[in-house]
Amino acid sequence: MDQIKQRFSVQFGYDVFFTHHLFNPSNPLFRNFLHTQNEGTAQKIFFVIDKGVSDCHPGLLENIRLYFSSDVPVQLVEEILIVPGGEQSKNSTEYLNKITDAVNTHGIDRHSYIAAIGGGAVLDLAGFAAAIAHRGIRHIRIPTTVLSQNDSGVGVKNGINYRGKKNFLGTFVPPVAVFCDFFFLSTLSDAEWRSGMSEAVKVALIKDKEFFVWLIQNGNALAGRDNVSMEYLIKRCAQLHVAHIAGGDPFEMGSSRPLDFGHWSAHKVEQLSDFTIRHGEAVAMGIALDSAYSFMSGRIDEKDARSIVALLKSLGFAITHPLMGIDNENSAVLKGLHEFREHLGGRLTIMLLSAIGKGEEVHELDIEMLKKSATWLKSVL
């Protein structure tokens, strides 16, 4: 016998919860979840918290300790690790090592939990550590920004930046649960509040025309920090993201990545700016560029392209930046295309628009048309 064929499938599942004041003792949501997961073993939970969150919520650590002081079937690890927020936490292995050191020191096993509270970068970091320690520790995500509650925090990706490349080391491992606590949004800066809305624009453009129309109708309320509108945006955006993940290729084994509409240039601009441009801000510029290209290539009409740009501007986004300039084939941002191709496994696949609410995949972008698209964007500033 020259060959043994092996085939099996593994079912994954997790719930995304929405609430206010997760660690208020009167809120049973987190406690009830842990009870449903209890196996009668000595489970532990270790918290990793974004420093920006702990600074804005100085009572958070005390609230967590109080919450776990009664009727919770999991032992709270006394040490709570505070790590820098943003890409700084992902740009080296320093904080990854701190988490795995804690796993070793506190005897956190595969039936225990690593819970991360913070923005998307901290969730990426903690999720990666959880995925590789003991070949997998249960991971709970508690996203605290608009961007992480409506996009990255409800997904299955984890990782850190390495060798100067975004998310060069990473895994596809789902969390066991996601808890979106809207109260954390109350302390976001205006820039952080705005930043996450670009992912809602993205997913509406490629999947849901009605949601795009809703965004236009509610743009002023969203920009004005209306909580009811923002909570709807987050829930709808999260719903569309998780539906896509379950829809066919959750671990991105192929080259199709429709949820990366606008991202090939965004990732590069983030890097070129040394991450002073936020991810959501870069994505807004990337959406604008790829929408302009969709217009220039005859896929959508100019009216639709202008409506996209107008929405982004009404939400407070810049639609381009000097680092997004495309003058020739050696323009810095175009290196993002080559890196995107490498990240996808050798075949470039870019999502463009064939209509509002409908995406279309292409495998090449014309540099001259990209130059015209960048020029057109400058004309509608």
Tens digits of per-residue pLDDT, 351-380? Answer: 999 999 999 999 889 999 999 999 999 998
Roughly how many angstroms between the first and final C-alpha of the chain, as a whole number? Answer: 68
Question: What is the average per-residue pLDDT within 301-328?
Answer: 95
**pLDDT greater than 90 at residue 249:** no
Which pLDDT band, with edges at 50, 70 and 90, does 300 fall under?
very high
- What is the pLDDT, as a whole number, of residue 337? 80
Q: Are 353 and 204 in contact (CB under 8 A)?
A: no
- In the three-class reduction of DSSP (H, G, I as helix; E, B as strand; rest coil), residue 239 is classed as helix
Which pLDDT band, with edges at 50, 70 and 90, does 1 fall under?
low
Residue 166: closest CA among 125, 212, 220: 125
Question: What is the average per-residue pLDDT within 93-121?
Answer: 96
The residues, any chain, with a CB within 8 Å of residue 171's CB and separated by 6 or more, are 127, 128, 131, 132, 157, 158, 159
**pLDDT greater than 90 at residue 41:** no
List the domains of the chain with CATH numbers.
15-187 (3.40.50.1970), 192-245+253-379 (1.20.1090.10)
Alpha-carbon gap, residue 288 to 312, rounded angstroms: 8
Alpha-carbon gap, residue 9 to 275, rounded angstroms: 38
Alpha-carbon gap, residue 175 to 78, rounded angstroms: 22
CA-CA distances (angstroms) from residue 24 to 63, 68, 299?
Answer: 7, 11, 50
Q: Please state the φ and ψ torsions of residue 6, each to the nearest 5 degrees.
A: -120, 125
DSSP assignment, residue 285? H
**pLDDT greater than 70 at residue 29:** yes
Question: What is the average per-residue pLDDT within 230-246?
Answer: 93
Lowest mean pLDDT across 206-220, 221-235, 237-251: 237-251
Question: What is the average per-residue pLDDT within 127-156?
Answer: 95
Q: Which residues pair with 159 in a beta bridge?
A: 170
Alpha-carbon gap, residue 177 to 10, rounded angstroms: 17
Question: What is the average per-residue pLDDT within 47-75?
Answer: 95
- What is the pLDDT, as a whole number, of residue 250? 78
Residue 231: closest CA among 197, 278, 205: 197
Alpha-carbon gap, residue 108 to 79, rounded angstroms: 12
Whose tokens are 């509608």? That residue is: 380
The residues, any chain, with a CB within 8 Å of residue 255's CB and separated by 6 or more, are 344, 345, 347, 348, 349
Q: How many CB atoms lie within 10 A of CB 164?
A: 8
Percent of the chain exceeding pLDDT 70 equals: 97
- In the three-class reduction of DSSP (H, G, I as helix; E, B as strand; rest coil), residue 157 is classed as strand
**pLDDT greater than 70 at residue 255:** no
DSSP assignment, residue 78? S
Q: Are 315 and 230 in contact (CB under 8 A)?
A: no
Question: What is the average per-residue pLDDT within 196-222?
Answer: 96
Question: What is the average per-residue pLDDT within 130-145?
Answer: 97
- What is the pLDDT, as a whole number, of residue 253? 66
Alpha-carbon gap, residue 85 to 51, rounded angstroms: 6
Question: What is the average per-residue pLDDT within 160-175?
Answer: 90
Question: What is the average per-residue pLDDT within 14-37?
Answer: 96
Question: What is the average per-residue pLDDT within 18-25?
Answer: 97
pTM: 0.91
Alpha-carbon gap, residue 314 to 132, rounded angstroms: 42
Alpha-carbon gap, residue 337 to 334, rounded angstroms: 5
Paired tokens of 74: 């999991």
- What is the pLDDT, as a whole number, of residue 39? 78
Q: Are 230 and 317 in contact (CB under 8 A)?
A: no
